[in-house]
Amino acid sequence: MNEETLIPEPWLLVSDIDDTLTGSREDLHRLWIRLKDLRARVKLVLNSSRTAESVDETLANYFPADFEPDAIITGLGTEIRLGRSWLEDWQRQFLDWPDEVVRKLVAELGYIAHADIFQTKGKASFAVPGRQEAERVVERLTSEGIPFKYIYSGASDLDILAPGAGKGEAMHYLAAHLGISLERTVAAGDSGNDVELFEMAGKAIAVGNAREELLAVLPREKTYCATASHAAGVLEGLVEFGILPGGET
């Protein structure tokens, strides 16, 4: 048996950004120090509802100067960038989805679209105050025969997605592309738009500041609910799962 056969399959850490990794730059720096020393053991993927351009701005202005994830999923699973290259086969499936029609129909109901940084091909996002109002939008799109899935989170965030999109679906595709089994994936998040990600991942970490909308429905049999918030909570979960060794840096 040669040494190569002894190298275990890496873990794929797929983490939300806003209020999961962000919140404390000091804790983010501590997490990054631990992860960058074990790149062969843990691959890091960022997974955000924002567009790639917006995420890149956050990386440049908030994250450590040498921070370099292995991949970035943006637009709630409608875009995947591996290193510096887009996975065009993934994004191509959303080209024919009628996002402009969706935006027009929802606008006709009187709801305001979110800023451009939250809109992608395959995703249309709006401010809709209340779940009852969100159901009104769902009923209208259904009556028009438009294929879609949706996520309602926070106080008023309604995301309408192409059927094949989503944070979890994109993670699944990326893991297969990298040859990593779903059992070796770890999701980290804080809000309702991370639910699909938690359901599909092998393990999950809810940071200490996670919203009730996530805590109420997360898969408890495979989720660690951290006591620490933000990046410190992600680190706490990785140590609890035995993916990273314990101890301070």
4-42 tens-digit pLDDT: 556 679 999 999 999 999 999 999 999 999 999 898 899
pLDDT band at residue 190, thresholds of 50, 70 and 90? very high
H/E element holding 80?
A: strand 79-82
- Write down the pLDDT at residue 7: 66
pLDDT band at residue 249, thresholds of 50, 70 and 90? very low
Unique residue bearing structure tokens 């850490």: 13
Pairwise CA distance, residues 47 & 102, whole Å:
24
How far is the first Cα of the chain from the last one, in angstroms, to the nearest whole number?
Answer: 34
Please give the DSSP secondary-structure letter assigned to residue 120: B
pLDDT of 1 above 70: no
Segment 45-62 shows an average pLDDT of 95
CA-based Rg of the chain, rounded to a whole angstrom?
18
Average pLDDT of every residue of the chain: 94
Segment 148-168 shows an average pLDDT of 94
- Which strands sit side by side in the sheet containing 123-127, from one edge to the other? 112-113, 123-127, 157-161, 149-153
Domain range annotation of the chain: 8-92+165-240, 99-161
- % of the chain with per-residue pLDDT over 70: 96
pLDDT digits (tens, 9 = 90+) for 68-114: 999 999 999 999 999 889 999 999 999 999 999 999 999 999 999 99
Pairwise CA distance, residues 17 & 46, whole Å:
7
Q: What are phi and psi of 189, to 5 degrees?
A: -165, 180
CATH number of the structural domain 8-92+165-240 = 3.40.50.1000
pLDDT band at residue 121, thresholds of 50, 70 and 90? very high
Q: Judging by DSSP bridges, how do beta strands 112-113 and 123-127 pair with one another? A: antiparallel
CB atoms within 10 A of CB 131: 12
For residue 111, how far is the Cα from the chain centroid? 25
Structure tokens at 49: 């509802």
pLDDT of 3 above 70: no
CATH number of the structural domain 99-161 = 3.90.1070.10
pLDDT of 195 above 60: yes
Structure tokens at 42: 């843990």
Structure tokens at 238: 């990785």
pLDDT band at residue 242, thresholds of 50, 70 and 90? very high
For residue 188, the cross-strand partners are 15, 205
